[in-house]
């Protein structure tokens, strides 16, 4: 593999672009060019270029049916027989000594184990049968190039079998993939496709649940493969085009005399990877232009593949364009709007004569369900002035999407640029500098009509795509990986490691026990070897060790079969050959083998007759399930998702793959990455909002002041005193009566009381009396209704307000012993009470609309303090009685402050309501930081805050790694920041960034995308709508931490050289789920991935382990995973009986031929009713043990009190059942009296119900 790597490096290196350069690329184009000229052998290059090319050439020229699918390296006999000598006789000891002496004096060569070809795994094509060094060298040179010539012979000698004189192509591919540069996920997918096949989908449980990480890897790699489909293998046939091609582009050229000629075609099979959710600039991709069918050149031999294609399809150039599919709704991906931006076309001069005279025209169609061509209706963009649809020259636009000729041809055939088609920085027509035919954005960017429908099949992965792999193929892959990593294992051990990792039930095949019995036949009563050994009348000898050694030999020499004595076995088998000393010479014997098979882990017994001379009667002992059977087809195959999950979950395989990738530590050939531009806003960097939410929960921070005044119709009202309600958080929903002392206002009115000149009474006047009130407080005021995924901004804002709003009920009863007012002669007053509210989160110089300094509510019109409420005034009394009450909805202090600050000044009406809703949902303060500044921007903005860190982010960085880089960038910014506030924010982000912070990207609405498509970015409507959506939290889509930016490049435009993508970093919590619907759905999806069957614990069923009975092994028992249901009845013994459904069991032969097999159908065949002693419930608190009957709950609640009184558990059961029967008897009498049919007697409370209630409550 190292030699192949060197050869590939030589192949990929370009004379014009040196493999190693110290100069860092200064532009995006230079960096991209250097990345594409990467000379290293990466996994992607091996999969996309080397492997498919060799497979295509070798398999297409092969005329015989493939007999092999790989090659095994047989473990040497010396290693297979390691262990104690079992022949303890004199001759056995002598033979063992001579063997040891011979090996010591003449050690064998163990460096190159004997090779053995194995047949193709089930459902696979296989590999070339006769691949000698001549054929291998010829095809390698034809497929890869001459740079491999100096290595071909050495590669062949390293991998070829000297005995068979052939090289295994698949073994070579496994080595090439293992030693290439790539991630473990990329290598797992590459190894899967070597032996993958298309099989019906089923849902039988796998012991290793599919992980989200594995699905991410598959989605990324298959998305990249989809984009490259057609560029690497071949053009589709006419039948395939109508059935499997979503977009069909045709390139025409007009020539004098012959008219319009079809030059070539481009095919897009699916739109899955082109789903677009952004509003940035289009990112172009290259697509192969295939020529029309041509006749074969003279002397070229037609291959079966070429003949099947009815001609030769050459690659004549590339079409550089961006494709965007914008679904109308997430639930209906087949209806939406299609955008196509054609940038340029390149014609290869070797295959196209005189490219500069072609002046191409491009059309595009799709196909309906019947395979008929369907034009794509063009969107005119409405009636906007200057729309290209109405101003195109020469009728360049029509009813359907097509891209017209870019230049005008005169009478003599010369080409001229059209008038007024050029634009700033864009060429329209032939560009002699780049030798490209280019379209400017005005003509090259077109969109379909809205709600355009595409055939659903174009959004699904083809059912005929490889989706399954057999356990036999997994064994070849496992052995290949472990051989590459120099693991000292035998062939049997490699097989068992593979099955332990990949098998659906985790079952490992092997010999459990073996004996030789001195009998020609055995009684049917003896069902197990254990019974046989216990029978003193039958002589038997344990030969388990010898049979395990024999099984080692069988696996090593079985050409991929792990069965004992397979049908392909030739020659006689004797006890001597099995290394078993005949214990009963001259007598007939039985070799009894007890084993477990792969797939479902079933145990079996096989009795093989042995003659008196020691000859073993050949009889196949199947340790593998039959792949062709309905049950074996399910148990012996795993899906693509399960394969990748098992690979990534087991370090036995993934660590060698990673270590083999890092053996070449030289960085001379590593190309420079391409930094991406990001504009990042970190919400609430100092965690002030989180602290405010915590304080709101602990203390609402709204204070209620009660002021008592003396009403005077002639002069000013006089202040009689004031009092404060206790903190609202100390109150409850139950009304409390309070007596509040009425006292003077503090002399220092700076925040300690409501400022008012009349409240300054001086030292001589003292306020007296008490105020009697009744008050209650509920927070939140009521439970908010659940919002749906399609909730509007107003609904979500209303829910957020309800969560941060409490209800205060205040009743002012009376007052006693108030001081007299201005009428000192009568010693009376006309008192009334004013109720004011103060927001404690506001300071001296802090204010907002409707809230003045120190947080006192003010009138928006007059600016004066605005009371919350006031009572009526009572005439001529110092002991007034009001008995007046009112209810107030009061928001939490921090929430009200945030809302008022964000809302700002405004008028009433619909616009104000929208502004209010956005203020409720708005985030807190933001800290901006930028990544990916170009060399042109660096001198200008390099010293500005947020631009000085020099940290770079690449498309290959995961979102998790991006958070770490964001912390590093903030650390650098903090060290260079002079502003104390900003420095504090940077330091807080660097210290407090956790995995709870969600990284989100802005997703514009269809309306905003439509304005962008109309190029109306500078219009008032676009700017207004953009500002509204930017403030709406549900316009921001969370990014998966395990994914990279390249996963989202096609959808959100990451990596564009001129555009900075907007990101927002927010701490994800329960409160934010209510604000952002996208985040709530994102977290729900994550929760589904993280929920496993092992966590099942409901009132009806729970996960656990149950004793599974092997009927073919004499009823032996094994603990297996099961779903255990709540018992429906109690046995006569008082013990409960449970229904257990085993997760891994022999599948029923029925219904397996259908497209799907449900888990319920698969478990039905192993459904058993078991006692409590045969179960182990996994949860610490199994809910199925408690009574689920509502009529029991009232009585079981008394169990704790009865137990505390000293009553025994059995006595509690009797007492509770007596009460239960007594109530039922009374109910029965009432029903009989009213002539109704009486209810059946209730099910009695059991001892386990009481025990569960006492233990768990």
Handedness of CA 1139, 1143, 1146, 1150 (dihedral sign): positive
- The per-residue pLDDT for 385 is 37
Q: Dihedral of CA 974/980/981/987: which sign?
A: positive
Cβ distance 234 to 228 under 8 Å? Answer: no
Q: Residue 903: helix, strand or coil by DSSP?
A: helix
Centroid of chain to Cα 94 = 63
Residue owning tokens 């790539």: 182
Q: Is the pLDDT of residue 987 over 80?
A: yes
State the pLDDT at residue 28: 44
Q: Using the structure block, give the residue that is written with the tokens 């202040």.
A: 719
Q: How many CB atoms lie within 10 A of CB 211?
A: 19
Cβ neighbours around 110 below 10 Å, total = 10
User: Could you tell me the two tokens for 402?
Assistant: 């097509």
The confidence score (pLDDT) of residue 788 equals 53
pLDDT tens digits along 383-423: 333 333 333 333 446 789 999 888 888 777 778 876 555 55
Select from 829, 827, 842, 823 the least CA-distant residue to 721: 829
Which two tokens mark 167? 């090289």
Structure tokens at 101: 């002496």
Residue written as token pair 């137990």: 1203
Average pLDDT score over residue span 1017-1040:
83
Residue 289 reports pLDDT greater than 80: yes
The rounded distance, in Å, linking the Cα atoms of 1160 and 1147 is 11
With both helix axes pointing from N to C terminus, report the angle between 651-661 and 640-649 in degrees, rounded to the nearest 10.
Answer: 80
Structure token digits, residue 480: 């290949």
Q: What integer pLDDT is reported at residue 481 of this predicted model?
A: 93
Residue 1205: pLDDT over 90: no
Which range is most confident: 919-923, 1025-1029, 1038-1042? Answer: 1038-1042
> Is 332's pLDDT higher than 90?
no
Name the least confident of 502-511, 1061-1070, 1226-1235: 1226-1235
Give the model confidence (pLDDT) of 244-284 as tens digits: 888 999 999 886 666 788 999 999 888 877 777 666 667 78
Query: Does the CA dihedral 1229-1231-1233-1236 come out positive or negative?
Result: negative
Q: What is the full DSSP assignment across 944-959? A: STTS-S----BTT-BH
Nearest Cα neighbor of 1120 from 1170, 1062, 1065, 1067 is: 1170
User: What mean pLDDT is predicted for residues 716-732?
Assistant: 88
What 3-state DSSP class applies to 1250? helix
pLDDT at position 810: 94
Mean pLDDT value of segment 598-611: 91
- Helices of type H across 586-673: 630-635, 640-649, 651-661
Looking at per-residue confidence, does 788 or 747 come out higher?
747
**In the chain, pLDDT over 90 holds for what percent of residues?**
20
Torsion region of 60: left, alpha or beta (phi above 0 gives left; psi -120 to 50 gives alpha): alpha
Query: Band of the pLDDT at 936, cuts 50, 70, 90?
Result: low
Among 365, 985, 961, 1053, CA closest to 676: 1053
Region 163-172: what's the mean pLDDT?
Answer: 85
In this predicted structure, what is the pLDDT of residue 678?
A: 92
Q: How far apart are CA 585 and CA 572, in angstroms?
A: 18
Per-residue pLDDT tens over the stretch 196-250 = 988 877 778 889 999 888 988 888 887 655 555 444 346 787 888 888 888 999 9
The partner residues of 782 in beta bridges, in order of sequence, read: none
Lowest mean pLDDT among 262-271, 881-890, 940-949: 940-949
Q: Pick the closest to residue 1051 from 227, 43, 31, 456 (CA basis).
A: 227
pLDDT of 164: 80
Write the CA distances from 601 to 500, 515, 1124, 1145, 1146, integer angstroms: 11, 21, 21, 8, 8
Across the range 364-387, mean pLDDT stands at 76
* Confidence grade of residue 1243 (pLDDT, cut at 50, 70, 90): confident
Q: Is residue 45 a contact partner of residue 669, using CB atoms and an 8 Å limit? A: no
Per the CB < 8 A criterion, the answer to whether 737 and 810 are in contact is no
| pLDDT class of 935 with cuts at 50, 70, 90 | low
Q: Which residue has the tokens 């059309």?
A: 363
Please give the Cα distance from 329 to 525 (Å, whole number): 68
Count of Cβ atoms closer than 10 Å to residue 1223 Cβ: 14
**pLDDT tens column, 55-112:** 877 776 555 667 888 888 888 877 777 666 666 666 667 776 766 666 666 665 555 6
φ/ψ of 450, rounded to 5, equals: -70, 150
Yes or no: say if 1129 and 1149 are a contact pair by the CB < 8 Å rule: no
């Amino acid at each position: 593999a190292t030699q192949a790597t060197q050869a590939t490096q030589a192949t990929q290196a370009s004379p014009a672009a040196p493999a190693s350069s110290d100069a860092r690329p200064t532009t995006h184009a230079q960096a991209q060019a250097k990345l594409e000229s990467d000379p290293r052998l990466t996994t992607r290059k091996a999969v996309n270029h080397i492997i498919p090319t060799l497979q295509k050439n070798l398999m297409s020229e092969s005329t015989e049916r493939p007999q092999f699918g790989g090659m095994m390296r047989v473990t040497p006999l010396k290693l297979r027989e390691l262990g104690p000598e079992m022949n303890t006789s004199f001759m056995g000891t002598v033979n063992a000594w001579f063997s040891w002496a011979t090996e010591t004096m003449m050690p064998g060569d163990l460096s190159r184990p004997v090779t053995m070809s194995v047949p193709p795994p089930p459902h696979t094509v296989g590999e070339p049968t006769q691949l000698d060094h001549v054929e291998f060298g010829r095809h390698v040179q034809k497929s890869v190039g001459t740079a491999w010539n100096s290595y071909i012979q050495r590669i062949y000698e390293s991998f070829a079998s000297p005995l068979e004189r052939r090289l295994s192509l698949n073994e070579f591919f496994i080595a090439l993939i293992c030693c290439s540069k790539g991630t473990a996920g990329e290598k797992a997918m590459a190894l899967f496709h070597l032996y993958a096949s298309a099989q019906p989908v089923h849902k039988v449980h796998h012991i290793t649940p599919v992980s989200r990480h594995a699905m991410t890897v598959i989605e990324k790699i298959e998305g990249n493969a989809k984009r490259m489909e057609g560029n690497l293998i071949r053009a589709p046939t006419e039948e395939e085009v109508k059935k499997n091609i979503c977009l069909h582009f045709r390139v025409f050229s007009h020539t004098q005399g012959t008219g319009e000629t079809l030059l070539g075609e481009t095919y897009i099979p699916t739109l899955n990877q082109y789903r677009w959710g952004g509003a940035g600039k289009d990112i172009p991709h290259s697509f192969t232009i295939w020529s029309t069918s041509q006749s074969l050149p003279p002397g070229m031999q037609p291959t079966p593949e070429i003949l099947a294609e009815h001609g030769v399809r050459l690659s004549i150039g590339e079409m550089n364009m961006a494709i965007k599919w914008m679904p109308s709704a997430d639930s209906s991906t087949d209806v939406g709007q299609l955008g196509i931006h054609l940038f340029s076309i390149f014609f290869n001069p070797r295959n196209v004569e005189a490219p500069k005279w072609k002046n191409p025209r491009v059309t595009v169609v799709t196909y309906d369900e019947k395979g008929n061509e369907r034009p794509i209706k063009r969107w005119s963009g409405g009636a906007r002035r200057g729309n290209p649809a109405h101003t195109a020259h020469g009728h360049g636009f029509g009813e359907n999407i097509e891209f017209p000729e870019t230049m005008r041809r005169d009478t003599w055939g010369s080409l001229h640029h059209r008038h007024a088609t050029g634009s700033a920085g864009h060429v329209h027509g032939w560009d002699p500098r780049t030798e490209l035919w280019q379209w400017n954005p005005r003509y090259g960017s077109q969109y379909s009509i809205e709600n355009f429908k595409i055939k659903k099949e174009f959004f699904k992965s083809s059912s005929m795509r490889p989706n399954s792999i057999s356990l036999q193929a997994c064994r070849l892959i496992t052995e290949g990986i472990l051989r590459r990593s120099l693991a000292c294992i035998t062939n049997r051990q490699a097989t068992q490691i593979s099955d332990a990792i990949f098998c659906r039930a985790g079952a490992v095949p092997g010999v459990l026990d073996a004996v030789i019995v001195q009998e020609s036949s055995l009684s049917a009563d003896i069902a197990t070897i254990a019974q046989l050994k216990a029978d003193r009348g039958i002589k038997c000898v344990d030969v388990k060790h010898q049979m395990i050694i024999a099984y080692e030999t069988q696996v090593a020499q079985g050409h991929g079969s792990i069965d004992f004595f397979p049908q392909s076995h030739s020659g006689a088998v004797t006890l001597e050959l099995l290394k078993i000393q005949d214990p009963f010479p001259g007598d007939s014997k039985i070799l009894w083998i007890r084993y477990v098979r792969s797939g479902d882990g079933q145990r079996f017994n096989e009795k093989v007759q042995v003659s008196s001379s020691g000859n073993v009667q050949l009889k196949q002992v199947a340790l593998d399930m039959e792949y062709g059977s309905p049950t074996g087809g399910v148990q012996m195959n795993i899906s693509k998702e399960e394969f990748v999950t098992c690979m990534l979950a087991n370090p036995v395989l993934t660590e060698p793959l990673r270590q083999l990738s890092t053996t070449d530590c030289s960085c001379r050939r590593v190309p420079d990455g391409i930094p991406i531009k990001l504009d990042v806003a970190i919400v609430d960097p100092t965690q002030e909002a989180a602290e405010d939410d915590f304080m709101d929960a602990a203390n609402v921070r709204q204070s209620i002041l009660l002021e008592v005044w003396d009403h005077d119709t002639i002069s000013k009202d006089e202040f009689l005193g004031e009092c404060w309600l206790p903190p609202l958080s100390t109150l409850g929903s139950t009304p409390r009566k309070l007596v509040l002392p009425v006292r003077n206002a503090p002399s220092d009115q700076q925040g300690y009381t409501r400022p008012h000149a009349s409240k300054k009474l001086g030292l001589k006047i003292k306020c007296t009396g008490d105020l009697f009130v009744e008050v209650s407080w509920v927070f939140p005021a009521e439970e908010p209704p659940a919002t749906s995924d399609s909730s509007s901004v107003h609904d979500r804002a209303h829910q957020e307000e309800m969560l941060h709003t409490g209800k205060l009920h205040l009743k002012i009863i009376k007052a006693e012993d108030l001081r007299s007012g201005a009428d000192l002669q009568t010693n009376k007053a006309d008192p009334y009470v004013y109720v004011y509210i103060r927001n404690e989160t506001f300071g001296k110089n802090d204010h907002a609309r409707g809230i003045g300094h120190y947080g006192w509510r003010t009138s928006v019109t007059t600016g004066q303090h605005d009371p919350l409420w006031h009572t009526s005034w009572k005439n001529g009394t110092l002991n007034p009685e009001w008995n007046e009450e009112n209810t107030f909805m009061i928001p939490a202090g921090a929430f009200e402050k945030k809302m008022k600050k964000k809302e700002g000044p405004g008028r009433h009406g619909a616009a104000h309501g929208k502004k209010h809703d956005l203020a409720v949902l708005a985030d807190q303060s933001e800290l901006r930081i930028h990544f990916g500044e170009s060399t042109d921007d660096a001198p200008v903005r390099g010293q500005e805050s947020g631009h000085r860190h020099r940290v770079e982010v690449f498309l290959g960085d995961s979102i998790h790694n991006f958070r770490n880089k964001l912390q590093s960038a903030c650390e650098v910014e903090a060290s260079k920041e002079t502003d104390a506030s900003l420095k504090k924010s940077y330091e807080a982000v660097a210290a407090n960034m956790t995995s709870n912070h969600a990284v989100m990207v802005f997703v514009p609405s269809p309306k905003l995308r439509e304005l962008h498509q109309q190029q109306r970015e500078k219009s008032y409507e676009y700017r207004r709508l953009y500002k509204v959506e930017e403030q709406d939290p549900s316009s921001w889509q969370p990014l998966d931490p395990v994914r990279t930016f390249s996963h989202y490049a096609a959808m959100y435009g990451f990596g564009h050289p001129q555009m900075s993508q907007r990101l927002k970093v927010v701490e994800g919590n329960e409160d934010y789920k209510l604000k952002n619907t996208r985040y709530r759905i994102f977290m729900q999806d994550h929760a589904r991935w993280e929920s496993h069957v092992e966590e099942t614990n409901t009132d009806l069923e729970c996960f656990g382990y149950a004793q599974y009975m092997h009927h073919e092994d004499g009823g032996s028992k094994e603990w297996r995973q099961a779903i255990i249901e709540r018992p429906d009845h109690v046995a006569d013994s008082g013990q409960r009986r449970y229904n257990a459904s085993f997760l891994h069991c022999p599948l029923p032969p029925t219904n397996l031929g259908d497209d799907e097999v449900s888990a319920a159908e698969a478990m039905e065949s192993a459904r058993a009713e078991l006692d409590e002693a045969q179960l182990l419930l996994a949860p610490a608190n199994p809910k199925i043990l408690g009574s689920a009957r509502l009529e029991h709950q009232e009585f079981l609640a008394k169990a704790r009190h009865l137990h505390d009184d000293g009553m025994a558990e059995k006595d509690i059961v009797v007492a509770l059942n007596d009460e239960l029967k007594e109530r039922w008897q009374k109910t029965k009498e009432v029903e009989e009296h009213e002539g109704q049919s009486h209810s059946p007697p209730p099910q009695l409370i059991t001892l386990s119900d009481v025990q569960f209630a006492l233990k768990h409550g």
